[in-house]
Structure 1
Amino acid sequence: MSSLARFVAVHRRGVVTAWITALIALAGWLLVAGTAFSDTSEVPESEATQALAVLNGGTASDATSGTIVWKSTDTDITDSSLVASMSRMLEQVSSLTGVTTVVSPYDQAVAGAVSPDENTAYATVVATSDLSRDDVAQIVSGYETDTLQIEIGGPALELIPSVDGVAESLGMLVALLLLFALFRAKRAALLPLATGVVGVASSLLAVMLASHVLDIPDDAITMGALIGLGVGIDYSLFIVHRHRSALMSGKTVVDSLAEALSSSGRAVIFAGATVMLALVGMFILGLPILTSMAICAAVTVLFTVGTALTLLPSLLAMLGTKALSRTQREELRIRGSIAPPARRRWNAWFSRVLRRPVVSIVAVLLVAGAIAGPLAQIHIGRADASADAAGTENREYFELVSAAFGDGFNATIIIVAETPDSASEGAFTELVADTAALDGVVMVTPAAAPEGVSAAYVTPSTTAQAEDTEAIVTAIRTELAPRESKGTAMHVYVSGATAINMDIASTLLGNLPLYLLVISSLGFLLLAVGFRSLVVPLTGVVTNLISIAVGIGAAVAIFQYGWGIELFGLGAGAPIIYLIPVLVAGLVFGLAMDYQVFLVSRMHEERERFGEHQRAIRVGGRESATVIAIAALIMASVFVSFAFSGDRIVAAMGVGLAVAVLFDAFLVRLVLVPALLAAIGRRTWAYPSWAERITPNVSLEAPAEIEFESAPHHTTNAGATR
């Protein structure tokens, strides 16, 4: 790593030019090629997807349906003038690119699409992913009046919130203020932010171009920005902080960079690799859309590690001693070195933790249990329009259709059965009758199906996200279908939005333990190799899992229970989408491992020098605490800023990650881990001889902010900066 530092220092202008050229080239390429994001979410094969395949005669289709609903307050819904006006509107919609069929409520063959009591009617729009919602909205807006309300919604016409970047900019501003508070130098404060932005920008440009050859959802951009900015700024912070410390000790700029990359740079590589492996490992979960998003996020982390190890040292080499404040440069010029800060508050903090380690352990676990408690009641699913904030387009649509046609209007359950003979057809008729008699079922209507297949649509009284709707799906699958199929050749499948979400949740929860086992085992092995200890990796893995539970628990409390959700402008509580627990688990594990390495490396370094266990914990914790705390605050500020984006998924991710990072930094790394290591004692560093023989020699040093306690202070001449 020191060789890399010296290379980029010597060729600093070339490295900076190379990054700028790469950014311009990627941007130009994207300007010409554009993007090709996937608008549909591929889900794993399940009963729900098999049902749709059987209903479509075995052929795949990306067609979905949406709804245009209108309500008149002064004209009868079947008045000839209104019928003529709405028919013209539907004709215009039917001519749009991507529209396959438009079913008018005034068609004699259509039943139930008009509600005389509410003076409301709706039309069904069947379309492919080529349809633009904005085109439909533009046509519809031309027919709205003060007495005619028209709304659009449903899967094909649902409004997807866009991220405007305003809240994220505020998060970046907070990060800049925190960096300035730490460094007291404007240039040094700007560098982590600048390199983080370059890393994220270049990676996202690459991801956009990759959308032409890979099935990438457009949400990957937001997820990549959220993750990349957080880790990118933190990684750069560690290196800048170590470089400045070396400069203040009297080293030249080049030597300081070599020391920074040899210590912090190694920790950054380790942390970045852990995050990327945790993300790529999500293929175990069997959810294609999640895997593609995770790969994109891993690419973003890779680019941010690259900028931290190449672009950042180049910029630091250009700055020379201007990475320090003017006052610090003057003191360095006069004295040759700058005395390290005393850090009395952190010293007192760790002294108290070590005096009563059991009390500290119990206190942290109680706080963790309180925050993570809601995790026990997590409801995996997808929020529908009923959970959107009042006044939003999706909520206005939901209120209009639910008032006229019931809350279950967009929660249709589809029953599909292979019925190759008359006995099977009779059994399906009985199944339909049994389903109609279930509590919560409004009606069951026949559906068109190919030969040898029977189908029916079940309309529940509750929304797609409601547990009562899930109960209907479960009853059909586990009770009614097995009973009526017995002794016949009928094979029943159940689909619909609720059934699909239930199948995804089942797949996720079934594979999640394996995923956690894999990343935990990987983390354990990496820490064991780096520290030659079994206790250090064990405490790291266990405490990481605690932080993961806290992050997901906080997301459940706010976004499922609805505690304080109004703060983020997101309406009511709703099920937690399957992306949240998995992404939070993978990212928090990697980020927490970063802090564990940074903290324990400094403790290990102190122990190797003086051989005193308690002292190593106190001094190592004291010298690491400031950077860990600032890094966590910066990362949390970036994550929280995304929570105000208006997108429920991004908001839940941001809050879950922010809470987990703050808890992990302040309570786990600065209280729980030191207390555990103190309680365990010298056995912390024990390592079996057989393991030593087969363990490769890998050094994972973390930066030390000041000289070792009681060690003579180094005072070399700092006159040469280059």
Structure 2
Amino acid sequence: AVAGIATGFASLHLLGLQMPLSVWSMNFSMMIGLAVGIDYSLFIVSRYREERAEGANIYDGIANTLSTAGKAVFLSALTVVFSLAAVFVVPVMVFRSMALGMILSVVAVAFASLTLLPAILVALGDRVLHTRKSKRPHHEEDPDIAAETRWAKLTGVALRRPALTLTIGVLLLGALAAPAIGMKLGMPGPRVVDEGRTSRDGYETLVAAYGEGAAAPAFITVDAPEAEAVVAAAQQVPGVVDARVVTAPAETGRVVVRVTGSTAVDDDATATMVKDLRAAMDGVAPSALVGGPAAQNHDLAETLTGKAPLAIALILLVAFVLLLVVFRSVVVAVKAAVLNLLSIGASYGVLVMVFQWGWGASLIGLESTVP
């Protein structure tokens, strides 16, 4: 995992010399690298120990492990990479950077798991096997066997009543996923910063004196002769508390009009104000361009909302096709796609319960609900 993450970081550094990348690419690269790196390593080591326990020598054990667990690791990495590639349909540099960072990390970790890890296992020899004696029963002496016994009991219960187990599982996941239907997407505001930070204190001081909209106004660039008309039109838009020209004409003959709203940058009313501003400008000054923090947040949220269904559909399609090719079974591929959709939906449903509805928010230090 460490070798793969380091290689992924090095690849990101080289790419960063040629193209702009978000700092978030490093965070997500490390998270996914640790997740799949540990998972792949445990999968391969566990399979190798099983092979050795059945009497295979070191080299035969490695060969058998790579032909089974190694193949599964390769196909898993391939599925993850193609699924993450679907994020590139979102035309936002931050999200493309995160996807690229995760792809590089997964590729590097998978390569290390299939090459470096087997070499380490050969070098360690029998030291990766259990040799310590214990007075405990055999199934308790080996953690792998003990865990297998516990899961076998649980699986046995499910297999004896498959219809009941399936019904309970689907109903539970469906109930958890239901709140995701009302999920509101948005960008985080300044209050995500902890109290006591200078940036948070500065924000609180600013909004206390001038209102929440002062921290993230909208800016309109327009030809100087049309500036007065733009100011007058902006002042008539609901939610606008101030509009004025804040720059002298540039060499291009354009000026900047600052428009201050009454609500915070992450408020739904601010997004509505941006829409109304653009509609008002179309009839007054077609050359006017509405930007600034308020418009940026609105545009980003709109882009994500518009492209999210396509990205999700592509991810499910990729997973379906790869599983169909590997297992040659439509039932297996459909089952995996449906269960993935239910599982992800349940995760989003829990997020809505906590962050949007506020259930248990105080337990994790949330001051208020957020989109």
TM range (shorter): 0.7 to 0.9
Q: How does 1:19-58 map to 2 (within 5 A)?
A: none
User: Residue 435 of structure 1 aligns with which residue?
Assistant: 234
Question: Would the aligned equivalents of 2:217 and 2:292 in 1 still touch at CA under 8 Å?
Answer: yes
> Which structure dedicates a bigger proportion of its chain to helix?
2
Q: In the TM superposition, what whole-angstrom CA distance separates every residue of 1:121-170 from its partner, at most 9, and x where no partner exists?
A: xxxxxxxxxxxxxxxxxxxxxxxxxxxxxxxxxxxxxxxxxxxxxxxxxx
User: Residue 466 of structure 1 aligns with which residue?
Assistant: 267
1:392 aligns with 2:193: no
SS in 1 for 2:20: coil
Q: For structure 1, which runs of at least 5 residues remain unmatched after alignment?
A: 1-195, 330-338, 576-722
Q: Structure 1: how far apart are the matches of 2:208 and 2:191?
A: 12
Question: In structure 2, do the counterparts of structure 1 residues 399 and 319 end up closer, same or farther at CA, with 3 Å as the change threshold?
Answer: same
Equivalent of residue 226 in structure 1, options 10, 19, 31: 31
Q: Structure 1: how far apart are the matches of 2:8 and 2:237?
A: 52
**One-letter code of the match for 2:270?**
T
Question: Would the aligned equivalents of 1:390 and 1:571 in 2 still touch at CA under 8 Å?
Answer: no
User: Residue 90 of structure 2 aligns with which residue?
Assistant: 285
User: Residue 319 of structure 1 aligns with which residue?
Assistant: 124
User: Residue 41 of structure 2 aligns with which residue?
Assistant: 236
Q: Structure 2: how far apart are the matches of 1:226 and 1:342?
A: 26
Q: CA deviation at 1:509?
A: 2.2
Q: Structure 2: how far apart are the matches of 1:572 and 1:222?
A: 25
Question: In structure 2, do the counterparts of structure 1 residues 442 and 387 end up closer, same or farther at CA, with 3 Å as the change threshold?
Answer: farther
Q: Structure 2: how far apart are the matches of 1:214 and 1:567?
A: 41
Question: In structure 2, do the counterparts of structure 1 residues 560 and 204 end up closer, same or farther at CA, with 3 Å as the change threshold?
Answer: farther
Question: Would the aligned equivalents of 1:388 and 1:572 in 2 still touch at CA under 8 Å?
Answer: no
Q: How does 1:581-596 map to 2 (within 5 A)?
A: none
Q: CA deviation at 1:350?
A: 3.0
Question: Would the aligned equivalents of 1:389 and 1:571 in 2 still touch at CA under 8 Å?
Answer: no
Q: CA deviation at 1:245?
A: 0.6
1:299 aligns with 2:90: no
**One-letter code of the match for 1:523?**
A
Q: CA deviation at 1:558?
A: 3.6
Q: Structure 1: how far apart are the matches of 2:265 and 2:145?
A: 60
User: Residue 317 of structure 2 aligns with which residue?
Assistant: 521
Q: How does 1:280-429 map to 2 (within 5 A)?
A: 280-327=85-132, 343=148, 345-417=150-222, 425=226, 429=228
Equivalent of residue 252 in structure 1, options 39, 49, 57: 57
Question: Would the aligned equivalents of 1:436 and 1:443 in 2 still touch at CA under 8 Å?
Answer: yes
Question: In structure 2, do the counterparts of structure 1 residues 250 and 443 end up closer, same or farther at CA, with 3 Å as the change threshold?
Answer: same
Q: Which moved more, 1:342-351 or 1:387-396?
A: 342-351
Equivalent of residue 551 in structure 1, options 344, 347, 350: 347
**One-letter code of the match for 2:320?**
F
1:457 aligns with 2:258: yes
**One-letter code of the match for 1:237?**
L
Question: Would the aligned equivalents of 2:24 and 2:97 in 1 still touch at CA under 8 Å?
Answer: no
Q: Structure 2: how far apart are the matches of 1:340 and 1:418?
A: 75
SS in 2 for 1:415: strand
User: Residue 210 of structure 1 aligns with which residue?
Assistant: 15
**One-letter code of the match for 1:433?**
A
SS in 2 for 1:204: helix
Q: CA deviation at 1:517?
A: 2.2
- CA RMSD, aligned part only? 2.8
Q: Structure 2: how far apart are the matches of 1:570 and 1:344?
A: 40
Q: Structure 1: how far apart are the matches of 2:65 and 2:133?
A: 19
Bigger radius of gyration among the two:
1
Question: Would the aligned equivalents of 2:265 and 2:297 in 1 still touch at CA under 8 Å?
Answer: no
Q: CA deviation at 1:290?
A: 1.8
1:533 aligns with 2:329: yes
Question: In structure 2, do the counterparts of structure 1 residues 417 and 363 end up closer, same or farther at CA, with 3 Å as the change threshold?
Answer: farther
Q: CA deviation at 1:244?
A: 0.5
User: Residue 444 of structure 1 aligns with which residue?
Assistant: 243
**One-letter code of the match for 1:440?**
G
SS in 2 for 1:214: coil
**One-letter code of the match for 1:352?**
V
SS in 2 for 1:442: strand
Question: In structure 2, do the counterparts of structure 1 residues 342 and 268 end up closer, same or farther at CA, with 3 Å as the change threshold?
Answer: closer
**One-letter code of the match for 1:395?**
R
SS in 1 for 2:185: coil
SS in 1 for 2:260: strand
Q: Structure 1: how far apart are the matches of 2:366 and 2:6?
A: 28
The percent identity for this pair of structures is 33
Question: Would the aligned equivalents of 1:412 and 1:459 in 2 still touch at CA under 8 Å?
Answer: yes
User: Residue 481 of structure 1 aligns with which residue?
Assistant: 281
Q: CA deviation at 1:265?
A: 0.2
Q: CA deviation at 1:343?
A: 4.9
Q: Structure 1: how far apart are the matches of 2:83 and 2:215?
A: 36
Given the two structures, how large is their TM-score scaled by the length of structure 1? Answer: 0.46
Question: Would the aligned equivalents of 1:272 and 1:301 in 2 still touch at CA under 8 Å?
Answer: yes
**One-letter code of the match for 1:372?**
A
Q: Structure 1: how far apart are the matches of 2:105 and 2:275?
A: 40
Q: In the TM superposition, what whole-angstrom CA distance separates every residue of 1:457-510 from its partner, at most 9, and x where no partner exists?
A: 1111221111121121122234x334x34xxx7344322212112212222222
Q: CA deviation at 1:249?
A: 1.1
Given the two structures, how large is their TM-score scaled by the length of structure 2? Answer: 0.86
User: Residue 152 of structure 1 aligns with which residue?
Assistant: none
Q: Structure 2: how far apart are the matches of 1:323 and 1:261?
A: 17
Equivalent of residue 300 in structure 2, options 504, 508, 533: 504
Equivalent of residue 493 in structure 1, options 254, 277, 289: 289
Q: CA deviation at 1:560?
A: 4.6
**One-letter code of the match for 2:110?**
V
Equivalent of residue 265 in structure 1, options 70, 73, 76: 70
**One-letter code of the match for 2:298?**
M
